[in-house]
């Protein structure tokens, strides 16, 4: 059980007006922090002038493809979403870990381009490109590129030509693995792929899936980065080089260039991979990569964005020079991500949830779809971004004639793996507060207590447990506690982290729920 009170200590780093430089620092593995915390996988980055822009996968969360901006590569603010119009993306009926995968952001000739895949049943269904002159939006309606596979990327060469790369099932007879990286020319004025498809590479690790390709040019050499080994503990960054964008490519014999697979189960950051590079105005190179922060072998926060210094050798990029791991991110001393809470990026499932905010008060319309369905439930959640956190709100009981409805808080990992602390009416009209686990296709009531017409609910996490209860006069009465591994990716599967949110199930014509004083507080251990 958690104690009745928690102290959330704020920490603020000094302002860093410029990107960090590759100078000495001593940051232990236990202290390393993501630069974008919570479930923000598959980061891609570009720079325009002094500003850096970052996009990440959003799966079936809506709005989709959050866009972040930074001046120092460490402090990021969300400025918009590529997929903010529900007419621009169809997420109906998709598993939580399908949906919008692995975007790439690039800027060319005054225009931002984001390419991405919409996946279904863990396979690419269609690949799109959207454009904008302002990364905050509006973004253009998606254009279907008719491309195979997943993890698309764009490369704009110095000669004015543009190239599209992606990963797909291996088609060529000489394939050494199940996937191949392929390339086609991209007509960036017409927003379409032209010309033949060229197979570039099958990866550095025989028998491993090669994905997440990004192409760069350094002098007369083209460098192709990829991710191999799967997205879990064997995840790694590998590379190949060529003297033409179409190849032939030679595997960089130093591969993998970055991985934590060899550090063992005790490593503070694991699953490291999916790198994208950016140069600072001063000429330094940095990589954004994904990684997870597990506790006791499981992670609940999802895949987060970490920053890694990169130098260049004659053979190609050197990640984290001198260490080869994220455990000593040279250059981040004095520029570390702050401990205070970033503004929430509230998202719905598979589409928008009808709601209104008034400060910290939320009015949430009901919907008949359950969280356990593949529909569009009335759910509004934010990514959990700290192991130690508390999420609370004052929740009304449904109207006396709403026996089928309920309102409450949810720790949500998947449609078939979440825990809800919900307020409902019993058949006789009495208010009850239930803690309900959804798992294995069934709902299990973990606790049931009498409630009131307005009830303050709270979910607390210490990283290893989630506790659910009611609050009276500032004191938490814990009704139920569950092992955090139940909500971990290792146990539940998929690619996402926990969302903490508010849900309102009931007939569409029922009154909106007036949820008051929605609060979230988190701290690093």
Averaged pLDDT score across all residues of the chain: 90
Tell me the pLDDT band of 338, cut-offs 50, 70 and 90.
Answer: low
The label of the residue with tokens 């991500």 reads: 337
Look up the pTM and report it.
Answer: 0.92
| pLDDT at residue 198, as a whole number | 96
Instruction: Examine the pLDDT at 44 and tell me if it is beyond 90.
Output: yes
* Alpha carbons 101 and 11: distance in angstroms, whole number: 33
| pLDDT at residue 172, as a whole number | 78
Instruction: Examine the pLDDT at 4 and tell me if it is beyond 60.
Output: no
The two structure tokens encoding residue 346: 């509230």
Instruction: Examine the pLDDT at 522 and tell me if it is beyond 80.
Output: yes
| pLDDT at residue 404, as a whole number | 74
* Alpha carbons 483 and 471: distance in angstroms, whole number: 21
Tell me the pLDDT band of 357, cut-offs 50, 70 and 90.
Answer: very high
* Alpha carbons 415 and 323: distance in angstroms, whole number: 40
| pLDDT at residue 199, as a whole number | 95
Instruction: Examine the pLDDT at 18 and tell me if it is beyond 60.
Output: no
| pLDDT at residue 482, as a whole number | 98
Kindly report, residue by residue over 68-103, the tens digit of the pLDDT: 999 999 999 999 999 999 999 999 999 999 999 999
Kindly report, residue by residue over 436-495, the tens digit of the pLDDT: 999 999 999 999 999 999 999 999 999 999 999 999 999 999 999 999 999 999 999 999
| 109: number of Cβ within 10 Å | 10
Cβ atoms of 181 and 201 within 8 Å: the answer is yes
* Alpha carbons 485 and 360: distance in angstroms, whole number: 30
Residue ranges of domains in the chain, CATH in brackets: 50-266 (2.115.10.20), 348-523 (2.60.120.200)
The residues with which 236 forms a beta bridge, in sequence order, are 228, 259
* Alpha carbons 203 and 41: distance in angstroms, whole number: 21
Overall average pLDDT of the 166-174 stretch? 88
Say which range, 13-27, 199-213, 395-409, has the weakest mean pLDDT: 13-27
Q: What phi and psi values does residue 491 have, to the nearest 5 degrees?
A: -95, -40
The end-to-end CA distance of the chain, in Å, is 17
86 SS3 class: helix
Instruction: Examine the pLDDT at 328 and tell me if it is beyond 90.
Output: no
- Dmax over CA atoms of the chain, in Å, equals 77
Instruction: Examine the pLDDT at 11 and tell me if it is beyond 70.
Output: no
DSSP category for residue 265:
T
Q: What phi and psi values does residue 485 have, to the nearest 5 degrees?
A: -60, -25
Element at 418 (helix H, strand E): strand 417-425
Q: What phi and psi values does residue 13 have, to the nearest 5 degrees?
A: -80, 155
Instruction: Examine the pLDDT at 211 and tell me if it is beyond 80.
Output: yes
Task: Give the closest residue to 36 by CA, choosing from 346, 379, 301.
Answer: 301
- Count of CA atoms in the C-beta half-sphere (13 A) of 253: 2
Overall average pLDDT of the 11-21 stretch? 38
Instruction: Examine the pLDDT at 13 and tell me if it is beyond 60.
Output: no
Q: What phi and psi values does residue 490 have, to the nearest 5 degrees?
A: -60, -35
DSSP category for residue 182:
E
Tell me the pLDDT band of 339, cut-offs 50, 70 and 90.
Answer: low
| pLDDT at residue 334, as a whole number | 47
Element at 490 (helix H, strand E): helix 489-492
* Alpha carbons 161 and 488: distance in angstroms, whole number: 44
Cβ atoms of 170 and 149 within 8 Å: the answer is no
Q: Looking at the annotation, which residues are catalytic?
A: 42, 211
Tell me the pLDDT band of 31, cut-offs 50, 70 and 90.
Answer: low
Kindly report, residue by residue over 250-300, the tens digit of the pLDDT: 999 999 999 999 999 889 999 999 999 999 999 999 999 999 999 999 999
**Share of the chain residues as helix, strand and coil, in percent rounded to the nearest 5:** 0, 50, 50
């Amino acid at each position: 059980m958690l104690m009745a009170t928690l102290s959330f200590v704020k920490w603020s780093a000094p302002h860093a007006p410029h990107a960090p430089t590759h100078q000495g620092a001593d940051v232990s593995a236990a202290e390393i922090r993501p630069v974008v915390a919570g479930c923000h996988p598959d980061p891609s980055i570009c720079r325009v002038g002094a500003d850096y822009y970052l996009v990440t996968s959003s799966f079936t969360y809506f709005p989709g493809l959050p866009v972040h901006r930074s001046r120092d590569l460490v402090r990021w603010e969300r400025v918009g979403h590529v997929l903010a119009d529900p007419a621009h993306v169809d997420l109906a009926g998709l598993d939580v870990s399908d949906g919008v995968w692995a975007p790439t952001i690039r800027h060319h000739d005054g225009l931002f381009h984001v390419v991405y895949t919409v996946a279904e049943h863990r396979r690419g269904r269609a690949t799109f490109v959207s454009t904008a002159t302002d990364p905050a939006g509006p973004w253009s309606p998606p254009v279907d590129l008719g491309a195979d596979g997943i993890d698309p990327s764009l490369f704009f060469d110095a000669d004015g030509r543009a190239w599209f790369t992606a990963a797909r099932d291996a088609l060529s007879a000489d394939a050494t693995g199940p996937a191949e990286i392929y390339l086609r020319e991209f007509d960036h004025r017409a927003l379409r792929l032209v010309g033949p498809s060229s197979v570039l590479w099958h990866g550095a690790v025989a028998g491993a899936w090669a994905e997440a390709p990004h192409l760069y040019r350094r002098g007369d050499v083209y460098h192709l980065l990829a991710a191999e080994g799967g997205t879990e503990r064997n995840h790694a960054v590998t590379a190949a080089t060529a003297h033409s964008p179409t190849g032939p490519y030679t595997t960089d014999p130093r591969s993998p260039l970055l991985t934590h697979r060899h550090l063992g189960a005790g490593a503070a950051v694991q699953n490291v991979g999916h790198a994208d590079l950016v140069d600072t105005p001063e000429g330094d190179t940095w990589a954004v990569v994904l990684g997870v922060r597990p506790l006791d072998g499981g992670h609940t926060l999802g895949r987060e964005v970490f920053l890694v210094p990169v130098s260049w050798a004659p053979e190609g990029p050197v990640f984290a020079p001198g260490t080869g791991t994220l455990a000593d991110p040279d250059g981040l001393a004095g520029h570390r991500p702050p401990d205070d809470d970033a503004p929430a990026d509230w998202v719905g499932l598979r589409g928008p949830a009808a709601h209104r905010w008034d400060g910290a008060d939320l009015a949430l319309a009901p919907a008949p779809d359950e969280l356990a369905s593949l529909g569009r439930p009335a759910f509004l959640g934010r990514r959990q971004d700290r192991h130690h956190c508390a999420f609370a709100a004052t929740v009304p009981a449904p109207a006396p004639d709403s026996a089928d409805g309920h309102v409450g808080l949810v720790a949500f990992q998947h449609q078939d793996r979440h825990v809800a602390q919900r307020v409902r009416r019993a058949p006789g009209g009495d208010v009850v507060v239930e803690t309900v686990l959804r798992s294995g296709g069934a709902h299990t009531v973990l606790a049931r207590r009498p409630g009131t017409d307005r009830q303050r609910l709270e979910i607390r996490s210490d990283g290893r447990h989630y506790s659910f209860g009611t609050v009276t006069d500032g004191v938490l009465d814990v009704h139920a506690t569950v092992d955090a591994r139940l909500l971990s990716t290792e146990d539940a599967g998929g690619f996402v982290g926990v969302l903490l949110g508010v849900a309102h199930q009931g007939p569409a014509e029922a009154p909106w729920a007036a949820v008051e004083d929605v609060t979230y507080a988190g701290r690093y251990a």
